Amino acid sequence: MLVLEDVTKAYDLQPVIEEICLALEPGVRHLLTAPNGSGKTTLLRVMAGLSRPSRGRVLWDGRPLGPAGRRHLGVVLQQPMLYGDLTGAENLVLFGGLYGLRDTRRRAKRWLERVGLGDVGARPVREYSKGMRQRLAVARAMLHEPDVLLLDEPLDGLDAKGRRVVLGLLEDAAARGAAVFAVMHDTPDGWRPDRRFTLRWGRLVVDG
């Protein structure tokens, strides 16, 4: 699984996160809540292998996280990483191909339905609302059934129904054994994570 060993990330010699030690556990729902500017997004990008730590190591199954390890991750960032000129279905088919999945069209159709976008899958993503793009980003992250989900504000822009859908998918992912690590402003109603964290002065601490 994903492990962080004494990870520090600094910009212009100023640490944003410092000496982070964390081991994600299969089937466990992890929640990080902290104020804006505390380093939450920086931490998530380092965990996802999208930003290199200034010091320390990010490991997958005991080895430095690389392209092979990143294939086991599903990531939702504040930028949804979607192509606006492609339809919702085409976006999922494209990403499914990048992951080497078979029968990508069937998978895409299934996930569009699971996130409540089955009736708009043939529309270009540029026509989607913010909430629709967010649900599609969640579908993209879960398409290949990753072992680890890393999510930055996955409920952002969602209405009550959309929030219930996404939280239900996180529960399903944990039930099948995936580690879920979600960054949120606060604990959403109806969701009870197994482990809670916050960031204080750039350091990860157990919350409660």
26 and 64 both lie in a single domain: yes
Q: Which two tokens stand for residue 29?
A: 């729902």
130-153, pLDDT tens digit by residue?
Answer: 999 999 999 999 999 999 999 999
Q: Quote the pLDDT of residue 190.
A: 83
5, 57: one domain: yes
- Whether residue 172 is found in the same domain as residue 195: yes
**Same domain, yes or no: 164 and 121:** no
Q: Which of 97, 112, 145 is the last residue of a domain?
A: 145
Residue with tokens 């072992």: 147
For residue 77, being part of any structural domain is answered with no
Range of the domain at 192: 1-72+146-208
Q: Does residue 208 belong to any structural domain of this protein?
A: yes
**126 lies in the same domain as 88:** yes
Backbone angles phi, psi at 93, to 5 degrees: -65, -40
Give me 205's structure tokens.
């601490």
Domain assignment present for residue 137? The answer is yes
- Tokens linked to 117: 């976008």
pLDDT tens-digit series, residues 45-83: 999 999 999 999 999 999 999 999 999 999 999 888 999
Residues 177-195: tens digit of each pLDDT: 999 999 998 888 888 999 9
pLDDT for res 35: 84
Query: Does a structural domain hold residue 28?
Result: yes
Q: Which of 100, 117, 145 is the last residue of a domain?
A: 145
182 and 95 in a common domain? no
Helix spans in the chain (H): 40-47, 67-70, 88-98, 104-114, 130-142, 160-175
Q: Identify whether residues 124 and 27 lie together within a single domain.
A: no
Please report whether residue 78 resides in a domain.
no
What pLDDT score does 208 carry?
Answer: 65
Measured CA distances, 61 to 19, 36, 125, 135 (Å): 20, 31, 36, 30
Tell me the pLDDT band of 34, cut-offs 50, 70 and 90.
confident
Output the pTM of the full model. Answer: 0.94
Residues 164 and 106 in one domain: no
The yes-or-no verdict on residue 122 having pLDDT over 80 is yes
Q: What is the CATH number of the domain that holds 39?
A: 3.40.50.300
Q: Are residues 67 and 90 in the same domain?
A: no
Domain stops at, among 113, 128, 145? 145
- Based on the structure, what is the number of domains in the chain? 2
Kindly state whether residues 62 and 96 are assigned to the same domain: no
Q: Do 154 and 203 have their domain in common?
A: yes
139 and 159 assigned to the same domain = no
**Which phi and psi angles does 70 have, rounded to 5°?**
-65, -20
Q: Evaluate whether 2 touches 73 at the Cβ level (below 8 Å).
A: yes
